[in-house]
A = this chain, B = another copy of it.
Amino acid sequence: VTEPSTSHHDRDAAPGGAIAAAARRGGEDAAAVLRRAGLRPTPQRLTVLRVLASHGHVTADEVLEESRAATGVIDQSTVYRALEALAAAGLALATDLGAGRMHYELARGHRHHHVVCRRCGAVAHLHDDILIPLALRVATATGFRLSPDGEVVLPGVCPACGAD
């Protein structure tokens, strides 16, 4: 589940990889997914989707570079607009991992939260209900309720870096 952020190649940890698989194949299926979401399946979007499908958490810049490597020309603004469209359609997830830039990942259907290693940037996913006890405590302590649709990013130290 973890992901050394320097080499952005974590495998598909979670199921729900229908979109992932389709996007990776890049064929008919991915186009259908886009169309079903009300988005025109342009080559650029298919490329972005494929990049997302193969790379856990990526920055816009990484998507740009990889897309260029894969398909040749594609513009910054196109990447940003594609990511925006995919996120709006629920196909991608934009997360502020706290590094001053947004990170994107393929939406895999299940809501989750993140722990980010502050040394190496590795990311682990947390099942949503890990927050339930916390939500209770927060509510009694402050009156605030945790947003049911909000994503939490926890700062941590991964097993590899926590060599104590």
A73: Cβ under 8 A from any B Cβ: no
B142→A2 contact, CB < 8 A: yes
Which chain B residues lie closer than 8 Å to A11 at the CB level?
Answer: none
A85 at the interface (CB under 8 A from B): no
- Chain A stretch 87-117: residues in CB contact (< 8 A) with chain B: 96, 98, 115, 117
Cβ-defined contact, A142 with B124, below 8 A: yes
Which of B96, B144, B158 is the one whose CB lies under 8 Å from A115? B144
User: With an 8 A cutoff between CB atoms, is A74 at the interface?
Assistant: no
Shortest distance from the beta carbon of A97 to any chain B beta carbon, whole Å: 10
A156 and B147 contact, CB distance less than 8 A: yes
A130-B124 contact, Cβ under 8 Å, with A150-B156, A157-B145, A158-B144: no
